[in-house]
Amino acid sequence: MLTKDEERTIIKIHRRFQANEFEIYHLIKGRFRIHPSVSTIYRTFKRYPLNDKRKKYVKRYEKRYPGELLHSDTYGLPKTLVMERKKHYIFGLLDDCTRLCYLELIDRPTAANVSQAFSRGYKWFNLHGIKPEEVMTDNGLRIYFLYFPKSQGYTLF
């Protein structure tokens, strides 16, 4: 494992001399506490994007006021976390601005159970003074079959 100073040294050499991982391997021999392998040097390159090909455009957004956007998802819990050893699911609603979160434990992730949990979550946010405007989901089957029970090929959002 490289320290941050060692990683920075590798990146400086790479930027200044346009050296690849094999050249850097030979340049730093004997200079570090533990001599890194070629693959470790390459992984360091991947962590620090250096050229346009490796840079990924990430669209960051933050909502300006509470309730502008809620995120909704369902997550299955492992049976080992529950006393009865039955499969349970967590339904969650998250406000993008305040990061206030509503979680509910449900037995089955059916469209009916998820829509009831969503309804209770919506009311809970209203009780806390947050009026939800938009909800973003992953278009999972629970949401999909709630709106399109017998159709195929539609996307909700």
**Which residue is associated with the tokens 């999909």?**
144
Q: What is the secondary structure of 66-133 as a DSSP string? A: TTS-EEEEEEEPPGGGSTT----EEEEEEETTT--EEEEEES---HHHHHHHHHHHHHHHHHTT----
Q: Does the pTM exceed 0.95?
A: no
pLDDT in tens, 65-113: 999 999 999 998 888 887 888 888 999 999 998 889 999 999 888 888 8
**pLDDT at residue 55 is higher than 90:** no
Position 155 scores a pLDDT of 45
**pLDDT at residue 4 is higher than 80:** yes
What are the angstrom distances between the C-alpha of 2 and each of 15, 44, 75, 84, 108? 18, 9, 35, 45, 45
The mean per-residue pLDDT over the stretch 137-155 comes to 57
**Which residue is associated with the tokens 């030979």?**
26
Position 18 scores a pLDDT of 84
- CATH of the domain spanning 70-147, picked from 2.40.37.20, 3.30.450.40, 2.102.10.10, 3.30.420.10: 3.30.420.10
Q: What is the residue extent of each domain of the chain?
A: 4-47, 70-147
- As a whole-number percent, the residues of the chain with pLDDT over 90 amount to 35
Q: What is the secondary structure of 9-43 as a DSSP string? A: HHHHHHHHH---HHHHHHHTTTTSSSPPPHHHHHH
pLDDT in tens, 119-141: 999 999 999 999 999 888 876 66
